[in-house]
Amino acid sequence: MMKKWVSLFVCLCLLLTPVLAAEPEGEAAPVATEAVEVQQPSAWAVPYLADAYGLKLVDDGYTGYITAPVAAEQIAAIAGQVYAKLALLTDAPAGEPAWDVSGSTRGDVVNALGEAVQAAGFDGAEPVQALQKLGAVQGDGVSLALERTCTYEEAMVMAARTVLGAYDTKNAGSKGLLWKATNGENTVYLLGTAHMDRGNLYPFHQTLRNAIQSADTVVLELDFQDQAGVAEFVAMQTYGEGDGLKDHVSPELYTRTVNAFAQLGLPEEQINTFKPWALANTVTSLMASDETAGDAPMAIDLYVNAAAVNAGKTVTGAETYALQGGIFDTLSEEYQTAYLESGVTMLEATFAPPADEPQEVDPEYQAALDEQMQMLTDMMTAWQTADLELFNKTYDKSAIVDSDDELNARLFTDRDPGMVKVAQSYLEKEGSNTAFLAFGAGHMVAPGGIVPELQKLGYTVEQVTDYQAVPPTPAG
C-alpha cells in the first residue's frame, strides 16, 4: 500500500501545483509592507528577473535591496553563483574559489565576474574583454562607467547576462519537453512542465526562452495572478472554526504529523488547521526539489509565469483554483488519511526523528522512496535534454490511467479533454496568433494527452528538436 503512495508522489509532481497556503511567485511588483521600504526594479532590469531568480542571483526579499548599492559580500556571492553555473559547462574543479572583493563599483563587479569566468575555465581573457564577448557589460555609449558605484540590479543583470551568454555560446541549457502545433497562421507551443526545481534546471536553452517570448498569450494550468482564486484555494485547504486535523485522524497519526512538520518549522496550532490532503500535497512539493535548488526553488511553471508577466504578456489559466482544490477536497476521508500518512512517512525518512521519539522507517518503504526519487531524477534529465523516449520509459502514463486508484481519473481522465480543447481554441483563433501553453508533462503524452489528441484532430504537432542558440553579440 505504501509503495502505491510513493508512486503517486511522482505523478503529482508533474500534474499539479500543490503548495500549502501558497502565494504566487515571480511577479515584478510584490505587495509592499509597512516594515520595509519597497524597492522596485528598473524597467531595464525587469526582463532579467525570472532568470536571475532561477540562477539564485536574487531571492524572495529582493525588493529590500534591488536598487541599493551592492555590497562587497554580495558581489562575492553573485560571482560564486556564476562560477557554479559556468563550471557545469567545463571541467572546472569541484568547490568554489575565494572571491576577494573590497569595493562596490561597477569595476569591482566586472572583475569578480571576469574572475569567475576565468576560474571556471570558460575564457582566459581579461575581465572586461571576457564579459564584453558574452554581452554582459554595456556602457552608456561613451564609457563602461567602471568607477561608478554599482547597484544590486546592475550587478544582477551583468551576472545573468554572463551566464546566459556563456550557455548560448555553448548551445547549452535545459531544452524542455516542447512541441510546436500549427494551423494556418496560428502557432501554439506546448511545454510539458513539472512543479519542481532540481538537477541544475536553469538556465533554459535560448530556443525555449525565445518560444516563451514569441507568444502573444501564455497559458498555465492556473493563473498565478488570480488573487481571488488563490484565496479560495487557501480556504479549501483549512478547516472551519471549531474543527481541526486532530478531529479527523487518529491520535497516533496526528502526533506523527505534528512531529514531522515541526521539522519544517510549523507549529502544532498551524498544522491542526490544515486538511490531510493539503499537508500531503505540501510534502510532494517540498520533496520534489533537491540541493541544486538552494533555498529558493523555482518550479518550471513559476519561471514561465514570471518571464511572461515581466515581459508584459497576456497570462491566463486553463483551470481554476477551485477545480484543482476540488480534486483533493472531495476525496474520501479514508483516502486523504492514507495520503497524509504517506507524506508523514516521507518526512520521517528524510529528517532525523526527535531523540525521545525514535521512528523506524520501513526498509521496503525506504527502498521504494529511493526508487521514486531516482525516477524524478531520470524524468528531469529527460526534460532537460528533450529526451521524450526516456521520459515515456520512466513515466508510465498508461499504467497510471489504467489503475483503479480513486485519484487517477481526476488527475487525467477528467482533465485531459479540457486541456485539449484549450489548445485547440488557440489553434482556431482568427488571424495570426502565437500562444505558449505550459501544462503538466503528464497531460501532454499518450494516452489521452494534448499532443496525440491534437494530432488525431488533424493538426500538425511536432516535438521541437532543433535547438540552436545564437551567441551574444559583443557589447561595448
DSSP labels, 60-105: TTGGGTTTSBPPHHHHHHHHHHHHHHHHTTTTPPSS---------B
Instruction: Determine the pLDDT at residue 8.
Output: 56
Kindly state whether residues 126 and 233 are assigned to the same domain.
no
Residue 70 lies in a domain: yes
Instruction: Determine the pLDDT at residue 9.
Output: 55
Residue 25 lies in a domain: no
Helix axis angle for 276-288 and 333-350, nearest 10°, is 40
Residue 130 lies in a domain: yes
Residue 309 CB-density burial (10 A; 0-12 exposed, 13-18 middle, 19+ buried):
buried
Kindly state whether residues 96 and 13 are assigned to the same domain.
no
Start-to-end C-alpha separation, the chain: 62
> 79 with 99: CB under 8 angstroms?
yes
Kindly state whether residues 222 and 310 are assigned to the same domain.
yes
Instruction: Determine the pLDDT at residue 358.
Output: 55
Instruction: Determine the pLDDT at residue 370.
Output: 84
> 442 with 419: CB under 8 angstroms?
no
Beta bridge partners of 439: 192
Residue 132 lies in a domain: yes
> 51 with 164: CB under 8 angstroms?
yes
Instruction: Determine the pLDDT at residue 277.
Output: 94
Total domains, the chain:
2
Kindly state whether residues 73 and 190 are assigned to the same domain.
no
Residue 469 lies in a domain: no
Region of 121 (left: φ > 0; alpha: ψ -120 to 50; beta: rest) is left
Q: Give exposure, 445-456, as e/b (b: 16+ Cβ within 10 Å).
A: beebbbbebbee
Domain boundary among 121, 136, 169: 169
Which residue range(s) make up the domain with 92? 46-169
Kindly state whether residues 111 and 215 are assigned to the same domain.
no
The structure's pTM equals 0.91
Domain boundary among 169, 196, 220: 169
Question: Which residues contact residue 189 at a Cβ distance below 8 angstroms, ignoring those fewer than 6 apart?
Answer: 178, 179, 180, 181, 211, 212, 214, 215, 434, 435, 436, 437, 464
Q: Which amino acid is at 301?
A: D
Residue 221 lies in a domain: yes
Kindly state whether residues 156 and 296 are assigned to the same domain.
no
C-alpha cell at 213: 517570448
What distances in angstroms separate CA 30 from CA 26, 321, 460, one per listed residue? 8, 21, 40
Residue 136 CB-density burial (10 A; 0-12 exposed, 13-18 middle, 19+ buried):
buried
Beta bridge partners of 219: 316, 437
Which pairs from 79-82 meet CB under 8 Å and 24+ separation? 79/112, 79/113, 79/115, 79/116, 79/159, 80/116, 81/55, 81/56, 81/57, 81/159, 82/113, 82/116, 82/117, 82/159, 82/162, 82/163
Kindly state whether residues 184 and 321 are assigned to the same domain.
yes
Kindly state whether residues 299 and 191 are assigned to the same domain.
yes
Instruction: Determine the pLDDT at residue 21.
Output: 43
Kindly state whether residues 293 and 250 are assigned to the same domain.
yes
Which pairs from 251-260 meet CB under 8 Å and 24+ separation? 253/337, 253/340, 253/341, 253/344, 256/341, 256/344, 256/348, 256/359, 257/340, 257/344, 259/353, 259/354, 259/357, 259/359, 260/344, 260/347, 260/348, 260/351
Kindly state whether residues 305 and 400 are assigned to the same domain.
yes
Instruction: Determine the pLDDT at residue 410.
Output: 87
Kindly state whether residues 243 and 315 are assigned to the same domain.
yes
Instruction: Determine the pLDDT at residue 14.
Output: 63
Residues of the chain with pLDDT under 50: 1-3, 5-6, 18-19, 21-34, 476
Kindly state whether residues 182 and 162 are assigned to the same domain.
no
Residue 296 lies in a domain: yes
Region of 150 (left: φ > 0; alpha: ψ -120 to 50; beta: rest) is beta
Residue 35 lies in a domain: no
Domain boundary among 150, 169, 188: 169
Among residues 101, 146, 98, which one has the least CA distance to residue 119?
98
Q: Are strands 186-193 and 434-440 parallel, antiparallel or unpaired?
A: parallel
